[in-house]
Each structure stands twice: as C-alpha cells, then as structure tokens.
C-alpha cells in the first residue's frame, strides 16, 4: 500500500472526487458491473503515486444514506478499484466518503447539513488532519461546482474536470509531466 499517515514528512495530496473523475458517473454506482474507469484515471493515480503524492478520494455517497446500497457494497467496490489500480502500479492512500444526506429515509444517515458532504469541506479537512499533507501544494480534482467549493473552503486548489482523459487533463494543467 502506501506510506503510513504517521510518516510526518509533508507531501502534496491529490484529492479526487470519485464519480465523474475516476469512473463514469452513471448514478449511484455501487456494483462492479456498473463501474467504468474514466480514460487515463488509473494511469494518473499511478503517476502521482510515483511522484510521491498522497492520493485521496473524497466522495459523496448519498446512495448509502438513501438506502440504495450499503457501506459494505461501497467498500467492496473501492476494494475492486484498488485491485485494478495495483495492476498498473497505483493505489489510493485513503477513501473518505459522506453517506449522510438531509433527506435520507434512514435516520442514522439523515443530517440537515452534513459536515462531510461536499460542498462542505469535512472530508478534506479530516484528510489534512490524518495525513502529513502540504496544503499549499495540494489540489482537488472534481467535476461539480460543489467539489470546487469544498476545495476552496478547505484552502486547497480546485480543478474542474470536464471529462475526457484524466491523465491528459492533469498534464495540461501542469500537474504531471508528459
């Protein structure tokens, strides 16, 4: 896997939204058979790993709170993602997820303004507390304005990904060398 969060040497972090950035956003993706990687996503993660960055996924998962699938289903999907990333020399250092939603039919997941649910910055702030992250050199890549707002509220740079090849996008943004 990766370095321990106890390693105190600050490094930049690549924060990634999941649906729409790492995988095609097909609406509440929870099963591997519904999952499809965004072109260049696996290679981008592996390149940032090789460059010494911490790679963190921050993903709203209201499908859990809405009762469409379980946390176990989501963790299983993330496990499969990890297996596929390992095949190309990549890994995710940590997954942070926000299952809460103001309209959740499941009381445990109902919250009027979930602190972790983007555009709130809770997931990012937790990662900044958990890992030796250099905030000034870190960036969040998301596909929605709520991702950009969460990044701004956490004090990190946000990049709005409009689709296409993720690795090419990150090269064009001068975050990766070609």
pLDDT at 129 over 60: yes
pLDDT at 1 over 50: no
**Number of separate domains in the chain:** 1
Specify binding-site residues for Mg(2+).
17, 19, 143-144
Return the active site residues.
17, 19
Q: Distance between CA 62 and CA 107 in Å, rounded?
A: 13
User: Is residue 30 domain-resident?
Assistant: no
Specify binding-site residues for Zn(2+).
100
User: Is residue 121 domain-resident?
Assistant: yes
pLDDT at 107 over 60: yes
* Strand (E) or helix (H) holding 159: strand 157-160
pLDDT at 45 over 90: yes
Domain with 47 in it: 35-172
pLDDT at 94 over 90: yes
Q: Distance between CA 95 and CA 164 in Å, rounded?
A: 23
CATH number of the domain within which 44 lies: 3.40.50.1000
User: Is residue 106 domain-resident?
Assistant: yes
């Amino acid at each position: 896997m990766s370095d321990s969060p106890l390693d105190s040497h600050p490094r930049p972090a690549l924060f990634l939204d999941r649906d729409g950035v790492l995988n095609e956003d097909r609406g509440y993706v929870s099963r591997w058979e519904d999952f499809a990687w965004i072109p260049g996503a696996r290679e981008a993660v592996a390149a940032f790993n090789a460059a010494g960055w911490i790679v963190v996924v921050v993903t709203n998962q209201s499908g859990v709170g809405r009762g469409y699938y379980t946390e176990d289903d989501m963790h299983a999907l993330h496990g499969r993602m990890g297996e596929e990333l390992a095949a190309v020399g990549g890994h995710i250092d940590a997954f942070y997820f926000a299952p809460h939603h103001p309209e959740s039919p499941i009381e445990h997941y109902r919250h009027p303004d979930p602190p972790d649910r983007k555009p709130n910055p809770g997931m990012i702030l937790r990662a900044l507390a958990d890992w030796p992250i250099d905030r000034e050199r870190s960036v969040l890549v998301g596909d929605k304005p709520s991702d950009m707002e969460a990044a701004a509220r956490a004090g990190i740079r946000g990049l709005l990904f409009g689709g296409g090849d993720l690795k090419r996008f990150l090269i064009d943004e001068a975050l990766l060398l070609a």
